Structure 1
Amino acid sequence: MAEETDGIEEAFEGQIRVLVTAAGQVGERIARAREQARRQAQAASEQEARELQSRLAAEQRAARAEVGNVHRSDWWDRATPEQIGHTYQVARAWANEDPEAVRAEQRMKDELRTRYGVDVESTNADPAAVRAAVERAEQERAQADAERYRAAAENAEAQRLMTQADQEDRRAEEVRAAAEHEPDPQERARAAAEAVQREAAAARAGEDGRRMYDSAERRDSTARDLEAKGIDHEVVATRMRADVSQGRPATEAVKGAGKANAPKARKTRGHGVQVQRSGLDR
């Protein structure tokens, strides 16, 4: 007698078909947009090209960390459709320029075929559902881009403040050093007062700059927003580590990021898997 199911497994696999199909499309769009951004930056200026390359290098490191998970069986045992879809999206987005992404994509194709009977090249996913998933992913990408631009503006202002703090500190030292050799008591007193003022200005600018660089509130808010969308905690943690690595001033040591909590385990195929909310872009 054939074993009856409650439909959960079928729904789970249906989500995977939709999300993987949409992920492939979005990943290819991301790759094209990245290449276009490179061309535009190179045409604009060498500095803009260097800044873009630095950001893309950080994104590529984060991407490698994410796609590396697909080579672990325990990741597959716990992965939700959203995680699978997003990781496939990341692999597709980098497959044209990163061998690790190519390996991950092939591993995902093999696992999807073996575990869920999903052929990535022909998923037979519902076209309307795929279009909706692509639209959601693009909207989330736009939100992420807006957050990145806002963070870049904050970083630029923070850099200006830190530079101002350094200048004020140096000037204060120069004034104090000059005052030591000043025979006029009034001039020495004036120089000492100026040094105190400059030191206070340096402290204020430095504090404002550090607060803007390492805005815990901003990162916490971003992390909460991402997790509220159903994005896995490990993926959010990876993004926040990339944010911290790029966002801190060069004059300060980079603090180590805390370990991400492991995602809650879900039962494997055929054992009552829990269907998660659809969504792609992390």
Structure 2
Amino acid sequence: MAEETDGIEEAFEGQLRVLVTAAGQIAERFARAREEASRKAQAVSEQAAREMQDRFEAERKTAQLEVSRVHSPDWWDRATPEQMSHTYQVARAWTKDDPEAARAEQTMRNEFRSRYNLDVDKTDADPAAVNAAVQKAERDRADADAERHRAATEAAEAQLLLNQADQEDRRADETRLAAEHEPNPETRAQRLAEAEAAGDRSTAIREDGRTAYDSAERREGTASDLESRGIDSQTVAARMRSDVSQAKPATEAIRANSSKTLKARNRSSSRGAQLQKPGMDR
């Protein structure tokens, strides 16, 4: 008598067949795109070729880290079809250029065959389902790339704002220094007020820059972390859009302390000016 099942295992394997087939196709496209980008960079200049090679080297190291997990039985016991297919996609995309990726791909082939009776060269997956999976993956990747571009733009804008804040800080310091050596009480008070205003502008601009910087930096870090764990691109893009940062850029710790000191000095100088009334100047 045939043993009855609840259908979960069959659904798991059916999904895996579709996703692995789609992953293989996407990986081939990535590999070809990488080769084409390398050729175009070499045609432009030696510098462009070196920059492209540096980028590929960084991506290759990231790929090595991801595919290394396939040699652990524990990973196979916990991995979802999405995680398996994503990791297989990475290994397949780099198998011609990296020995570790090639070894990982062979390991995955063996595991697919022994665990799920799945031959990656002949998965018997539904072509329509595979095509839909490929199209979805491409849309998800486009969304993730768009979010990365937005994050890079925000980071650049944030840096400009932080630079403007630094300029206002310097203007406040210079104006305050001039006030300290100004013999005319009214002029001195006016310059101290100008320094106070510059400090306030610096604080406001720096806060805007910090907010933009946080959003860009955190989303990029979140995306990298999620992708390293095999999370699909659609989920990554959605998380990047909704991520709310509470952190600060590394340079902001120094700038924040500097700003606090600046404000303290400003308040101290202002009190001094208020205590020293016109006609009391010596």
User: 1:172 offset after TM fit, Å?
Assistant: 1.8
Question: Aligned partners of 2:45, 2:187: CA distance in 1, in Å?
Answer: 48
Question: Aligned partners of 2:48, 2:204: CA distance in 1, in Å?
Answer: 30
Alignment partner of 1:210 is 2:210: yes
Greater Cα shift, 121-130 or 107-116: 121-130
Map 1:18-29 → 2, pairs under 5 A: 18-29=18-29
1:124 corresponding residue in structure 2: 124
- Relative distance call for 1:176 and 1:214 in structure 2 (3 A) is same
Identity %: 68
Q: Please give the secondary structure, in 2, of the residue aligned with 1:214.
A: helix
Question: Aligned partners of 2:146, 2:159: CA distance in 1, in Å?
Answer: 20
Question: Aligned partners of 2:160, 2:15: CA distance in 1, in Å?
Answer: 47
User: 1:58 offset after TM fit, Å?
Assistant: 6.5
For the 8 Å contact 1:31–1:93, the answer to whether it is kept is yes
Bigger relative contact order, structure 1 or 2, given CA contacts below 8 A and separation 6+?
Answer: 1
The number of residue pairs the alignment matches comes to 240
User: 1:134 offset after TM fit, Å?
Assistant: 0.7
Question: Aligned partners of 2:41, 2:186: CA distance in 1, in Å?
Answer: 55
1:73 corresponding residue in structure 2: 73
User: 1:3 offset after TM fit, Å?
Assistant: 3.8
Question: Aligned partners of 1:141, 1:86: CA distance in 2, in Å?
Answer: 12
Q: How large is the Cα RMSD of the aligned pairs?
A: 4.0
For the 8 Å contact 1:21–1:120, the answer to whether it is kept is yes
Map 1:1-282 → 2, pairs under 5 A: 3-37=3-37, 62-215=62-215, 219=219, 231=231, 249=249, 251-252=251-252
Question: Aligned partners of 1:176, 1:52: CA distance in 2, in Å?
Answer: 49
User: 1:140 offset after TM fit, Å?
Assistant: 0.9
Runs of at least 5 residues in structure 1 that lack an aligned partner in the other structure? 254-282
User: How high is the TM-score relative to the length of structure 1?
Assistant: 0.68
Question: Aligned partners of 2:211, 2:36: CA distance in 1, in Å?
Answer: 34
For the 8 Å contact 1:159–1:249, the answer to whether it is kept is no
Runs of at least 5 residues in structure 2 that lack an aligned partner in the other structure? 254-282
User: 1:138 offset after TM fit, Å?
Assistant: 0.8
For the 8 Å contact 2:151–2:219, the answer to whether it is kept is no
> Between Structure 1 and Structure 2, whose CA radius of gyration is higher?
2
Question: Aligned partners of 1:7, 1:192: CA distance in 2, in Å?
Answer: 77
User: 1:38 offset after TM fit, Å?
Assistant: 5.7
Q: Please give the secondary structure, in 2, of the residue aligned with 1:183.
A: coil
Q: Please give the secondary structure, in 2, of the residue aligned with 1:144.
A: helix
User: 1:160 offset after TM fit, Å?
Assistant: 1.0
User: 1:42 offset after TM fit, Å?
Assistant: 7.6
- Partner amino acid, structure 2, of 1:66: E
